[in-house]
Each structure stands twice: as C-alpha cells, then as structure tokens.
Amino acid sequence: MLKKLETLAERGIDGERISAQKKIARLKARLDFTAPGCAETPDLFLGSFKRSSKAMWIYSFGRDEFDVANSVKWAIESTTKIPCVYRDTDLLAEATVATANKLTGIATHITHSFRALVQKFSAIEGVSVGDRGVFVMGLYDGMMNEARMIGQRLPNRAGLTRIRKEKRPAVTLATNLHVHPYTVALNLGKQIRFSVPLEQIAAELQAVTQKRLTRETGVS
C-alpha cells in the first residue's frame, strides 16, 4: 500500500498527490516501514511484451459489455504495442505464449475492476442509465493517464435532455448526481492500474458520490 501511495504522490494528477501524501504520513505514523518490503509490481504494464505472428486467446467478454472489452483492447494495444482482434466475444492478441499469459492476467484484473465499479456506480441513487458510458470512459482515461486538459470539454452525459416551455429559456433535466461521471471515474481508473485493492476503490467511489448527491429531483 505504501508503494502504491508513493506512486500516486509522484505521478498523480490534480488533488491525487496531496491526498496520497496525507495518507502516507498517516501510515508512517502508525506503522514501521524500516524493514525491507516485498517486491511489488505497481504498474500492471511494467515489463516486456513480445509479439508473435500467431493470435493467442486473452479473454472472453459478455455480449453486453462492449465498452469494457474495448477499454481492455485499447489499453493493451496502446501500452504494449501488441495488436489485438476480436473473434465473437473473445479477445485475441498476436503475442507469444508467455506474453499472452501475462496479458490474460492484465485483462482479468481490468475487467473485474471495471465490472465491479460500474455495477456499484449504476446502483447509486441519482445515476441514470446513460451515465454508464461516460463513467467507463473516465475509468479508461484515468487508467491510461489520459485525463482531459483543463478547459477541455467533458464528454456529454446521455442522460441529460433539454426541454422548452412557452416563452421560457431552455433548462436541463439532469440526474440527481451533481458530479460528472467522468470526473468521478478518473481517479478510480488510476488506482486500477496500480492494483489498489478493489474494496478500497469501491469505498472511495461510494464516499465521493454520496457527498455530491442531492435530495432534489427537480430541474437544475
């Protein structure tokens, strides 16, 4: 945990560094870290990946999780430069046996994390069905450290619609979640890449969204 927090303190974006530094201080106040630690791999994609002319099976996805499957595919291709292809719901990669085995572990970790967080996010009061896609996009961008620049427009939330009434300005009907799903997901995605325990990430998701929920169901 200390190594993961130190990584966030060094590479984090926005408020991640300050938050990680505070957590490090609390850990060091409670525990003794002078003993040698166990070897860890903080980054899922640390190491070498070898390409092969033969496509090897990596992972099988459900038919209703195309967005998660694409996130895994894009992450592998972008980071390892190993070409991937779909065969029905199976993801294959042009990789050696050893690399394919490693990619299977990576795909499993990412998929299980995305599934669990999407399920937990979708169950939160105030979240609409249309928020899922933007949430998954945020998880991916956070995991790949591709957060949108300051001033760059956030992805549209499909759950938002505009209505007009007679001689009145346009208003927006929004979900009760007054924080953008993309923003919520960014830091969670970063933690997925550095293998922070899923229970801890899910707890953070719950805490962040509960702070932003409102009892109002009217027009914003």
Q: What pLDDT, on a 0 to 100 scale, did the predictor assign at position 8?
A: 75
In order of 127, 136, 164, 217, the CA distances from 171 in angstroms are 19, 27, 7, 14
3-state secondary structure of 142: helix
Cα torsion angle, 214, 216, 219, 220, sign: negative
Specify the pTM: 0.69
Residue 34, both tokens: 């002078």
Q: What pLDDT, on a 0 to 100 scale, did the predictor assign at position 163?
A: 33
pLDDT in tens, 4-14: 778 777 777 77
pLDDT band at 44 (very low <50, low <70, confident <90, very high): very high
pLDDT band at 124 (very low <50, low <70, confident <90, very high): confident
d(CA 188, CA 200): 10
Answer yes or no: is pLDDT of 182 > 50.
yes
